[in-house]
């Protein structure tokens, strides 16, 4: 039996503010490796849909989409 994957539709290119210090993951799984710690107040940009309540983002507009990190959706506040 396969794993259940929860996908959410999110628009690419949306700016978000990180609302609390959190661990950025290499994959959208709780047990995946931490790539770096994102500080509260950091600005990130969405790359794709959310998976398992994590959103693929990059913290630099110059970065390739493949260089994205995964952050929990619940700590991201859209900036309009």
What would the two tokens of residue 27 be? 């994959």
* pLDDT tens, residue by residue, 10-30: 667 899 999 999 999 999 988
* pLDDT tens, residue by residue, 30-41: 889 998 999 999
Walk me through the domains of the chain, giving residue ranges and CATH numbers.
Answer: 7-78 (2.30.30.40)
* pLDDT tens, residue by residue, 47-69: 988 899 999 999 887 777 778 89
């Amino acid at each position: 039996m396969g794993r259940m994957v929860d996908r959410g539709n999110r628009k690419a290119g949306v700016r978000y503010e990180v609302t609390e210090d959190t661990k950025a993951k290499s994959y959208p799984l709780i047990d995946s490796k931490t790539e770096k710690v994102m500080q509260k107040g950091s600005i990130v940009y969405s790359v794709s849909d959310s998976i398992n309540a994590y959103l693929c983002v990059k913290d630099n507009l110059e970065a390739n989409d493949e260089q994205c990190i995964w952050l929990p959706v619940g700590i991201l506040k859209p900036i309009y």
